[in-house]
Structure 1
Amino acid sequence: MERKRFSVLFFIKRSKLLKNGEAPVRVRVTYDRLYVELQLKRSVKVPLWSQEKEKSTGKDRNSVELNHYIDALRVKFYQIYQD
């Protein structure tokens, strides 16, 4: 039996900066070589984004809220996968 691969990756689109200079946050959900990429209705200042952590490194309110939102989405995606 072949095991299906599942992953969730959060990243920013540096090539599509918004008018305010921030980059939109996106998520890519992959399942067995098929993927869907979604743009979250959130953005972050480019220097505050850590791709290693897939989160904002800022300590301001917007960064903290974004990180909580990313954590909640990650949990929801994995719960859906488990069901």
Structure 2
Amino acid sequence: MNNVSSTVRIIFQPYVFRTVGKRKQLSPGIPIACRDEQDALRRIDKVKAGLGDTVGAQAVRMLVDEDAGDYGDPEILGIVGEVPKNDD
């Protein structure tokens, strides 16, 4: 995807444990659009330091053309803690 209208997006995806019935389940939190890579990596560092109730997180960079609905493959910038396994 090399369209002129494509932009780079940096996303921080936190994960938390939620109680479902009597079990705790790893669930995605609200994704956060970051200003730049450093912003995303600072958020990863906060999770690493144990701040808040987030048990894991991923920071990714991807090329997006929202007008066309095209989303490039995410490039992992950082991962920390409990995150879902990628079966690729």
Tell me the TM-score normalized by structure 2. Answer: 0.28
Higher helix share: 1
Higher strand share: 2
Tell me the TM-score normalized by structure 1. Answer: 0.29
